[in-house]
């Protein structure tokens, strides 16, 4: 382990992350973390120096061998974060550097922060690289499909130990500011190397960070400094546009604020963004219309399997007002002929998933209409993936999937291998819930060893398209288009 300790300090010096005067201090801190009493200081660094993450692995393995930590993923992650914190500047220095670069160019600022977050292993680049990704051509554009393999699974021993831990309300959730530098435990990931950029968003303090298990390039999270529930209202729209004004090369969007159609963390006000052009953004407007009360705003229905209204304007505040007007109208709108009911026993069902971006000098916002009502036929949600597609995707359709990027569960990697064996008439252990789908694939394709993977990928992509159609409140049929226009006509009759 001595060589790894020497190499780690040498890498920090070479990259300018450590100062030579501090090298003895950081060597001693590193010794303490990995459970060693001393190191041979005369030992020379490797030439050439190995990759930083390889050295990190050696240090963590040494700590396991020393008995400093147990061989559990959670303890390894906590130690990794503590070691990499040595190479990570303090939050104040990161913020100072970010906003200094911002004065030159917002892209330079985010490049710096993104590179730092990858370099210090806060963004789990090696885990993300395990994800399976491909595209599916459709009439709505190329959908993006990923099978998410990046998040580590907990072992049974860790799960058992978690039950014995006392409950804690600090940090209150995974998105709180208090995660910055937090050691972590069996129930909470290590965040010693975590840094948050402070931003002013409409006279409130917000945080900007990257997602550790990013689903797309520069996958960002914007979070309120206050731990408060998500609320998608006029203030949220104003916040989204303020963020893209600050970072014009990023998009930013919010999950809807209701269960089933909302995100996984509704307890903390936050948005997601990043530097990626999603399939929905590329989709064209198929029907343009006027909003009489908002003369500067261009409006239209987007050609997309879900129900999307796109607004565009040079006037940021009028765009906010128009988006808020549509939200207010939608929240109280019912059309039983289209199976849309706004309230049941006083419980609201209608919500909107908004996505904001810049288009040159203009501001643009997509409003995706959502409804979370359930029924006897569809207990998971009328506008949720239907039972026929749940063998592939059963989870909620959130912001990222709304925009055309499927996040599919890790179980599919081994399960689809068994489907391939079935299609090739090989012995297999295919899950029963894939049987009907697999039979259909077999009957409609000439499957060979050479094309079986492409057949399956194409079919998975087709299922994701059906998932989006299921989640669309207005279907892509003539009846659905007519029903959508009824809502548009109602908007046009209002004065805003």
pLDDT tens digit sequence for 263-280: 668 889 999 999 999 999
Per-residue pLDDT at 167: 63
Residue 1: band (very low, low, confident or very high) from pLDDT cuts 50, 70, 90: confident
Per-residue pLDDT at 481: 96
pLDDT surpassing 60 at residue 156: no
Residue with tokens 């806060």: 122
Question: DSSP characters for 424-438?
Answer: TT------GGGHHHH
**Domain contains 6:** yes
| Residue after which a domain boundary falls, among 14, 37, 69 | 69
Tens digits of residue pLDDT in 353-396:
999 999 999 999 999 999 999 999 999 999 999 999 999 999 99
**Domain contains 246:** yes
Of the listed ranges 2-6, 102-106, 167-171, 461-465, the one predicted with least confidence: 167-171
Beta strands in 193-315 (DSSP E): 197-201, 204-210, 220-224, 251-253, 270-274, 285-289, 298-302, 308-313
**Domain contains 263:** yes
Domain that holds residue 295: 215-383+477-493
Query: Could you tell me if 455 and 423 are in contact, meaning their C-beta atoms sit under 8 angstroms apart?
Result: yes
The pTM (predicted TM-score) of the whole model is 0.93
Per-residue pLDDT at 159: 44
- Comparing CA positions, the residue from 351, 403, 488, 382 lying closest to residue 140 is 403
pLDDT surpassing 70 at residue 152: no
Our count of domains for the chain comes to 2
Q: What is the mean pLDDT of the chain?
A: 93
| Residue after which a domain boundary falls, among 69, 85, 115 | 69
Per-residue pLDDT at 263: 67
Per-residue pLDDT at 153: 60
Cα–Cα distance, 374 to 430 (Å, whole number):
30
Percent pLDDT > 70 in the chain is 95
Query: Could you tell me if 209 and 195 are in contact, meaning their C-beta atoms sit under 8 angstroms apart?
Result: yes
Mean pLDDT computed over 288-313: 97
Cα–Cα distance, 174 to 265 (Å, whole number):
9
**Domain contains 141:** no
| Residue after which a domain boundary falls, among 69, 85, 114 | 69
Query: Could you tell me if 258 and 370 are in contact, meaning their C-beta atoms sit under 8 angstroms apart?
Result: yes
Cα–Cα distance, 409 to 107 (Å, whole number):
33
**Domain contains 396:** no
Per-residue pLDDT at 334: 97
Per-residue pLDDT at 407: 95
The strand order across the sheet containing 362-371 reads 197-201, 204-210, 220-224, 270-274, 251-253, 350-359, 362-371, 308-313, 298-302, 285-289
Cα–Cα distance, 52 to 84 (Å, whole number):
10
- Please state whether beta strands 308-313 and 285-289 pair in parallel, antiparallel, or not at all (unpaired): unpaired
Residue 187: band (very low, low, confident or very high) from pLDDT cuts 50, 70, 90: confident
Query: Could you tell me if 110 and 249 are in contact, meaning their C-beta atoms sit under 8 angstroms apart?
Result: yes
């Amino acid at each position: 382990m001595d060589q790894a300790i020497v190499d780690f300090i040498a890498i920090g010096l070479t990259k300018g992350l450590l100062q030579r005067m501090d090298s003895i201090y950081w060597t001693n801190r590193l010794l303490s973390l990995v459970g060693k009493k001393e190191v041979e200081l005369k030992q020379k660094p490797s030439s050439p120096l190995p990759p930083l993450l390889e050295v990190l692995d050696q240090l963590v393995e040494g700590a396991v061998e020393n008995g400093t930590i147990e061989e559990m993923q959670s303890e390894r992650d906590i130690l990794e974060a503590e070691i990499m914190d040595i190479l990570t500047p303090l939050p104040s220095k990161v913020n100072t550097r970010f906003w200094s670069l911002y004065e030159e160019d917002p892209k330079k600022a985010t490049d710096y922060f993104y590179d730092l977050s990858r370099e210090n292993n806060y963004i789990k680049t090696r885990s993300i690289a395990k994800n399976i990704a491909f595209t599916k051509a459709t009439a709505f554009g190329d959908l993006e499909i990923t099978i998410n393999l990046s998040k580590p699974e907990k072992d049974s021993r860790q799960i058992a130990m978690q039950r014995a831990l006392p409950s804690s309300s600090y940090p209150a959730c995974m998105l709180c500011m208090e995660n910055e530098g937090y050691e972590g435990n069996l129930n909470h990931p290590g965040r010693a190397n975590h840094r948050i950029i402070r931003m002013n968003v409409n006279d409130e303090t917000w945080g900007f960070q990257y997602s550790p298990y990013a689903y797309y390039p520069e996958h960002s999270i914007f979070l309120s400094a206050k731990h408060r529930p998500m609320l998608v209202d006029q203030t949220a729209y104003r916040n989204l546009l303020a963020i893209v004004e600050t970072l014009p090369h990023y998009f930013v969007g919010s999950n809807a604020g209701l269960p089933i159609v909302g995100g996984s963390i509704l307890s903390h006000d936050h948005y997601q963004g990043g530097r990626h052009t999603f399939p929905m953004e590329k989709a064209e407007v198929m029907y343009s219309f006027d909003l009489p009360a908002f003369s500067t705003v261009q409006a239209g229905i987007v050609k997309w399997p879900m129900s999307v209204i796109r607004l565009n304007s040079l006037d940021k505040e009028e765009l906010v007002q128009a988006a808020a007007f549509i939200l207010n109208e939608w929240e109280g709108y019912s059309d039983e002929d289209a199976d849309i009911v706004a309230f049941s026993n006083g419980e609201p069902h209608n919500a909107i998933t908004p996505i904001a971006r810049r288009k040159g000098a203009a501001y643009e916002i997509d409003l995706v209409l959502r409804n979370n009502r359930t029924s006897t036929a569809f207990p998971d949600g009328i506008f949720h993936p239907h039972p026929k597609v749940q063998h592939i995707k059963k989870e909620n359709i959130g912001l990222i999937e709304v925009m055309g990027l499927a996040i599919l569960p890790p179980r599919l990697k081994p399960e689809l291998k068994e489907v391939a064996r079935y299609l090739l008439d090989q012995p297999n252990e295919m899950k029963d819930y894939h049987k009907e789908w697999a039979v259909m694939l077999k009957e409609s394709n000439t499957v060979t060893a050479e094309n079986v993977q492409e057949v399956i990928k194409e079919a998975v992509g087709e299922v994701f398209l059906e998932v989006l159609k299921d989640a669309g409140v207005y279907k892509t049929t003539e009846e659905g288009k007519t029903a959508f226009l009824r809502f548009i006509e109602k908007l046009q009759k209002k004065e805003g």
